[in-house]
């Protein structure tokens, strides 16, 4: 009986967290958290931060390049 209550409670918590993640993603929230993680990586994991910056700049270069059809 106790294990059923534990599993039910775990399922409710996971469902709530899933709902919250979808709600936050739909609102576009999370910018502050991304900034905090970026600051942490810059301070304590400089190679990871550098790789992230390279990926962002590569994505920006691809977006700016356009397509051959634009000519």
45: left (phi over 0), alpha (psi -120 to 50) or beta: beta
Predicted local distance difference test score (pLDDT) of residue 63: 60
Question: In this predicted structure, what is the pLDDT of residue 9?
Answer: 96
Q: What is the pLDDT of residue 29?
A: 57
pLDDT in tens, the chain (71 residues): 899 999 999 999 999 999 988 887 766 655 667 777 777 777 887 777 777 778 778 877 766 656 666 65
pLDDT at residue 71 in the model: 59
C-alpha 22: how far from its chain's center? 12
């Amino acid at each position: 009986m106790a294990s059923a209550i534990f599993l039910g409670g775990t399922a409710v918590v996971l469902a709530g967290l899933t709902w919250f993640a979808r709600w936050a993603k739909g609102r576009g929230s999370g910018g502050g958290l991304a900034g905090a993680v970026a600051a942490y990586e810059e301070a304590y994991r400089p190679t990871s931060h550098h790789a992230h910056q390279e990926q962002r700049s590569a994505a920006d270069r691809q977006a700016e390049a356009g397509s051959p059809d634009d000519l």
